Structure 1
Amino acid sequence: MRIRIIDAFTDRPFTGNPAAVCLLDRGARPAEGWPDEAWMRRVAAEMNLSETAFALPRPDGDGSADWGLRWFTPTEEARLCGHATLATAHALRSDGLIAHGWVRFATRSGVLRARPEADGSITLDLPAGLSRPAGPLPGLEAALGRTPTAVLRTEALDKSLVVFPDEHAVRNLVPDLGAVGRLPVRSVTVTAPADGPACGYDFVSRTFCPAVGIPEDPVTGAAHAALAPYWAERLGRPGVTGYQASARGGLVVCRIAGDRVLLSGRAVTVVDGTLHSEPPWIPSGTHRGEPATAPAP
């Protein structure tokens, strides 16, 4: 089985956020569902990237989506992942399976769309993650080692959005990742305004997810689904650009579209290889909301 590692939200290898992508082929088994979930979890643990994406064509679907899409961290299935969706769309475009227009993915977060652009970028259509002011989160300040100016909560993503006064504070943050992993949230995103207009972006961020096997996520599409509404409202305009200031770094162009967020970025394939483990297929109807055929490892 073919498997690729694709760096997303970048146009240069070894930057942005790497995702592993498997485009599944059911071949002559159109009536069957997804591969066994335990197998997908093991592949994701073996790849040991922030997310591994599995995409399944839906010729027999209800017409609402073209592909099914699932994402796995090294330890669990993700509800929403932007960079691995972008990487999957890049793989489909590279294989000539989409050329223009929207491709639709059926996911745990509903139908997501991706569109290749003429300039080589890809636009994602994700649900906006609206954040609301939150009360003190016990242990947060000690875990981060700094006092924020605001703490917000994005319930849909189980995320804390933590605001600092300046870019320097975000870039130089050295959190206690063990303590972050014990906080009662799936992930913590820290953010601050850019140093100035010459930067080429409006805000910076970093995202930490040690509770799900990702100490620091390099560039996080799902986080920008929450960051974009916050910064668009704060700056008073629908279009904003974020830079995720991880060691790899990546630029995300964001635009608010009602209750959706359009994120644009580029991607580049860095590894194209063969996975020498064929997936065990399970009958349709045993996917989401029903027990897997084997326990997770």
Structure 2
Amino acid sequence: MSNRRPCRLFHVDAFTRERFCGNPAIIVLDADALSEEQMQTMAAEINGETAFVLEAESSDHDLQIKYFTPRHPVAFVGHATIAAHYVLAKKMDMPERRLRLRTDVGIVEIDVTQVDGDFRIGITQNPPMLGPVIPDHHRRQVLDALGISSPSLHGDCPLQIMTKGGARLLIGLNSVALLDSLKPNFEELARLTSHVGAEGYFVFAAADGTDGQDGQIETISRMFVPARGIPEDPVSGNAHSMLGVYLVNNGLLTPREGRAVLRGRQGMWMRRPGTVEIEVECSGRVAQSVRIIGDAVIIYEAEIPV
């Protein structure tokens, strides 16, 4: 790497206001001079999901972000998007505004607001796509690999694939207590990825006392993505957007006046608890748009010569 203007790097925890909770991401500003090969090298060195913020290339957007895991580029990372716009609001004097962000899944709308003395970020995008319900033979293999018995499954929750940038298999359980008994076989889950057609396995249950019939629901979840080198993901905004659409489509979350709200909690089993809020704008059971809402906190910042 040549001796040019240094990049500014921020370590941020998303979907939380508590340090060392939520989902960590690395945000790199002033990244326009970097090649994609350099971006991948940095993400591998940092060994975390990394978002590189770039200037706009045309008038249909205000900025763009490229996302990399330590292994390869990805189209979109929800928590890194929350983290990036939190950094821009705090460090670049870009508070309380709306932005058009270009990503490899298209242009998404960002809103920055102030709530309880700090910034909160919203991402509005087209809804995830409903995929197939997996066949019985794959169903048995996935349940065995997660250590789930068939009676533990929620009877109204099909094992269904959802897609938005990546594919996730959604698996609903009868109770939150069952999440504690999961015994994921990461090697087998990674092997099943190409057969099932989903990179990750999002296992959830409705919180006690919430049934989704008043336009709102609270869930608790765990997600495993070993095929991407992530045994367990702390808190996923993208997967929760899938869950919101899935619940509405399957009649488990009833919209009120065209809107349904999901409050999802994740990360407790990793000692990194975080909360995602999802708003689904609907026409009947058909989602029209999804808004992912989250907080963030900056852990540290640094400069890297490039």
Alignment TM-score, normalising by the size of structure 1: 0.83
Q: Provide structure 2 residue ranges, at least 5 long, that are not aligned to the other structure.
A: 1-6, 211-215, 282-286
Which of the numbers 3, 18, 22 marks the counterpart of 1:12?
A: 18
Q: Matched residues in 1 for 2:75 and 2:201: separation?
A: 16
Which shows bigger deviation, 71-80 or 155-164? 155-164
| Secondary structure of the corresponding residue to residue 188 of structure 1 | strand
Letter of the 2:89 partner, please give it: R
Which of 177, 184, 197 aligns to 1:175? It is 184
Corresponding residue of 1:236: 254
Match of 2:201 in 1: 188
The alignment partner of 1:39 has SS state of: helix
Write the letter of the residue equivalent to 2:273: G
The correspondence for 2:295, drawn from 266, 270, 275, is 266
Q: Which residue of 2 aligns with 1:283?
A: none
User: Aligned Cα RMSD in Å?
Assistant: 2.0
Q: What is the CA–CA distance in structure 1 between the aligned matches of 2:19 and 2:121, rounded to whole Å?
A: 17
**One-letter code of the match for 1:6?**
V
Q: Which runs of 4+ in 1 moved over 6 A?
A: none
Q: Distance in 1 between matches of 2:61 and 2:34?
A: 19
Deviation, 1:242, is 0.8
* Structure 1 residues 99 and 107: CA distance shift in structure 2, 3 A: same
* Equivalent residue, structure 1, for 2:89: 93
Give yes or no for the alignment of 1:78 onto 2:74. Answer: yes
Q: Who is 2:213 aligned against?
A: none
Q: Offset of 1:97 from its aligned partner? A: 4.1
Checking the alignment, whether the CA contact within 8 Å between 2:134 and 2:160 is kept in structure 1 is: yes
Looking at both structures, which has the greater relative contact order when contacts are Cα pairs under 8 Å and sequence separation is at least 6? 1
1:216 is matched with 232
Change (3 A) 1:201 1:245: farther
Q: How many pairs align?
A: 266
| Partner SS for 1:234 | coil
Q: Distance in 1 between matches of 2:74 and 2:93?
A: 25
Report if the CA contact (8 A) 2:55-2:64 is conserved.
Answer: yes
1:249 maps to a residue whose letter is P
Structure 1 residue 25, shift from structure 2 partner: 5.1
| Residue number among 146, 149, 153 corresponding to 2:148 in the alignment | 146
Cα distance in 2 between the residues matched to 1:92 and 1:23: 9
Give, as a single letter, the amino acid of the residue that structure 1 aligns with 2:171: V
Unaligned stretches of 5+ in structure 1? 27-33, 279-297
8 Å contact from structure 2 (residues 167, 199) kept in 1: yes
Q: 1:74 touches 1:212 (CA, 8 Å); kept in 2?
A: no
**Structure 1 residues 103 and 97, CA gap change in structure 2 (3 angstroms):** farther
Partner of 1:39: 38
Alignment of 1:92-171 (within 5 A): 92-119=88-115, 120-132=119-131, 133-136=133-136, 137=138, 139-147=141-149, 148-149=153-154, 150-156=158-164, 157-171=166-180
1:225 aligns with 2:227: no
TM-score w.r.t. length of structure 2? 0.81
- Counterparts of 1:201 and 1:7 in 2: how far apart (Å)? 24
